[in-house]
Copies of this chain bind each other. A is one copy, B any other.
Amino acid sequence: MSYELYYWPGIQGRGEFVRLALEEAGAAYIDIARMPPKKGMGMSAMMPFMEGRKIEHPMFAPPFLKHGKILVGQTANILHYLGPRLGLAPKDEAGRLWAHQLQLTIADLVSEVHETHHPLATNLYYEDQKAAAVKRSADFRKSRIPKFLGYFEQVLKTNPKRGQYMVGARLSYVDLSIFQIIEGLRYAFPRTMRRQEKDYQGLVELRDSIAERPHIAAYLQSERRIPFNEDGIFRHYPELDKGK
């Protein structure tokens, strides 16, 4: 039974954390909103889950995943569901909770990345909140990147299974998400990352090892990987990457 992923078609966004897990596992999935509308897919197949007054479990926002009768939303929750099924999470409760906790902290970081370019309102254009974005980004670069990445680096180092993966001795969806975080921060804040990366050497090595995994390497070369762009969460606006 193949997985149906529902997410905005033009961006990596939060959907990308789910795509990376499905791709690594070689799972059969359909990226519904990116498929042609004439096959009953595309955006018009996604919106009823959010706007429909008749569905039992309305979705607040994409991404969400349909798998048989199961419909699950919220990125970290989707990964929590998929983890054991794709062999990308520990099977015991304590291990699953820990992986999920880390993923939720990654989600917090992702939200803060979005705030760097939209500190006043999601509904306003970037151009109309640029001055505030410059201030927010300065704090993000100086305080928040070190706080989050410093924490994840510490988690990697204190993992009693020693340094290769974030959780236990095997690859999990958390490692794939760390890859995406490093990629995204490098895209959005290249200058800052060049300065700071020496402090997160473990995470950078983890990123490199993920990029070399055969399924991930093939995915990154494929058309399924949407390039980063200025409609997504990680956006490159040079003025937000300037200064100390």
* Residues of A in contact with B (beta carbons under 8 Å apart): 53-58, 60, 69-70, 72-74, 76-77, 80-81, 93-94, 97-98, 100-101, 104-105, 108, 111, 115, 119-124, 132, 135-136, 139, 143-144, 148, 151, 154-155, 158-160
Contact = CB atoms under 8 A, between A and B. Distances in A.
Nearest to A160: B56
Contacts of A81: 97
Nearest to A157: B53
Contacts of A143: 121-123
Contacts of A97: 70, 72, 77, 80-81
User: 7 tightest A-B contacts by CB?
Assistant: A121-B139, A74-B104, A120-B135, A74-B101, A60-B105, A119-B119, A73-B101
Nearest to A167: B57
Contacts of A160: 56
Nearest to A75: B104
A72 B101 contact: yes
Nearest to A151: B60
Contacts of A120: 119, 132, 135-136, 139
B55 A158 contact: yes
Contacts of A100: 74, 77, 80
Given A119-B136, A139-B120, A77 B104 contact: yes
B58 A154 contact: yes
Contacts of A148: 60
Given A72-B97, A105-B74, A135 B155 contact: no
A100 B132 CA distance: 33
A61 to B, nearest CB: 8
B74 A158 contact: no
A44 B124 CA distance: 43
B121 A104 contact: no
